[in-house]
Copies of this chain bind each other. A is one copy, B any other.
Amino acid sequence: MKRKITLKQIARELDVSISTVSKALRNSIEISEDTREKVQAFAKLYNYRPNNIALSLKNRKTKTIGVIIPEIVHHFFSKVIRGIELVANKRGYNVIVGLSNESFDKEVINMQMLANGSIDGFILSISKETLQQQDYHHFKETISQGMPIVMFDRVVNEINCDKVIIDDLKGSKNAVNKLLANGCKNVAIITTKDYVSVGKLRTQGYLEALDDYKMSPKADLILKVDDALVSEDHLASLELEIEALFKKNNAIDGVFAVNELYAIIAMKVARNLGMKIPEDIQFIGFTDGVLSKHATPSLTTVNQHGQEMGEKAAGLLIDNLERDDEEEHYQTIIIETELVERNSTK
């Protein structure tokens, strides 16, 4: 087991100074061609690579970006990571991942672990618990220490930084409009409690679409699910809630759900109640994932373009890192959503 070779060792072997070796390897004209060739040959032979950590320390940058997401076993977030990784790698950066697991504490801890020199900047999506507690001091501190942050998807106005979001309002409005245009008279929405910003916005889009069609919203048609319950195995209770929704209101002929899973489950419940999709009732879900594509019937969705979000976020961050002017001019990039029509709508 031969340890990685260093400049010092090469210098000793070749009986020159460390500076000479360093310069020779970088093809400095200060060094004679003879010496250069000798050093380079030796370096290649022993497969020399500069130690990244030493470089990071010297340059005071790590060429690494930290990503903190609430959950990785999730189609949307993993697509975002793929996007981040893609442009990060292309531009010579590494990606280090932290999972908050939707917990405030883990989010804080993770950020602290990374903020001490390990990375040059953050890309993150805020955990639900943080959103609920509305405690954003860790973001502010990080930024005030000169470490840039790019937030995506779940963002918050209170923090001044680059952001990449989708137009949740417009996306859901479009979706509901589609249902209405398809002839639905009683469109229900399955959404989350309001502290999840995207849930709130998507609900608002629903309301605006109704308004466009001069329909007044009915409380009976709005189901606000407590996300905490949906943690994997409480799905059964969700089914019951949806079943109750349908039974209480048997004129429902359209459903808009703020995520894929809610929509899929709602379809299942509807089918069990004997309704035909899309003849009797039509469905649209927000967030396009594997489930939607392979469900029966396949689900019409609002595609969020997760990978593109990741790409844009990484671009924003790296641009920021590599810009030398210190002026703050934060941008918010809005990614357009796209209605992917499948078989759950007419």
- Interface hit among A122-130, A138-146, A171-179: A138-146
Interface residues of A (CB under 8 A from B): 1-4, 47, 49-54, 56-57, 62, 64, 72-75, 78-79, 81-82, 85, 89, 94-99, 110, 112-118, 141, 144-146, 261, 264-265, 268, 271, 289-291, 294-296, 326
| Pair B117/A97 contact, Cβ less than 8 Å | no
Chain B residue nearest to A99 in the complex (CB): B85
CA distance A264 to B146 in the complex (A): 49
- Pick the contact of A73 from B82, B116, B141, B294 — CB < 8 Å? B82
Shortest Cβ distance from residue A309 to the other chain B in the assembled complex, whole angstroms = 13
- Pick the contact of A54 from B117, B141, B265, B271 — CB < 8 Å? B117
| Residues of chain B lying within 8 A (CB to CB) of residue A81 | 72, 97
| Pair B75/A79 contact, Cβ less than 8 Å | no
The number of times this chain is found in the oligomer is 2
- Pick the contact of A2 from B51, B113, B116, B145 — CB < 8 Å? B145
Q: List 22 A-B contacts (CB under 8 A).
A: A1-B146, A2-B144, A2-B146, A3-B146, A4-B116, A47-B141, A49-B115, A53-B56, A53-B57, A53-B117, A72-B72, A73-B75, A73-B79, A75-B290, A81-B97, A85-B97, A89-B110, A94-B96, A94-B114, A95-B96, A268-B294, A296-B296
| Residues of chain B lying within 8 A (CB to CB) of residue A265 | 294
CA distance A82 to B72 in the complex (A): 7
Shortest Cβ distance from residue A314 to the other chain B in the assembled complex, whole angstroms = 13
| Pair B64/A72 contact, Cβ less than 8 Å | no
Shortest Cβ distance from residue A186 to the other chain B in the assembled complex, whole angstroms = 24
| Pair A78/B85 contact, Cβ less than 8 Å | no
| Residues of chain B lying within 8 A (CB to CB) of residue A54 | 57, 117
| Residues of chain B lying within 8 A (CB to CB) of residue A112 | 49
| Residues of chain B lying within 8 A (CB to CB) of residue A290 | 75, 289-291
CA distance A291 to B295 in the complex (A): 8
CA distance A270 to B53 in the complex (A): 56
| Residues of chain B lying within 8 A (CB to CB) of residue A53 | 53, 56-57, 62, 117-118
| Residues of chain B lying within 8 A (CB to CB) of residue A115 | 49
Chain B residue nearest to A289 in the complex (CB): B290
Shortest Cβ distance from residue A275 to the other chain B in the assembled complex, whole angstroms = 14
| Residues of chain B lying within 8 A (CB to CB) of residue A56 | 53
CA distance A251 to B294 in the complex (A): 26
Give the top 3 A-B pairs by smallest Cβ distance, nearest first.
Answer: A51-B117, A52-B117, A53-B117
- Pick the contact of A291 from B3, B98, B99, B294 — CB < 8 Å? B294
| Residues of chain B lying within 8 A (CB to CB) of residue A261 | 294
| Pair B57/A85 contact, Cβ less than 8 Å | no
| Pair B78/A74 contact, Cβ less than 8 Å | yes
CA distance A135 to B3 in the complex (A): 23
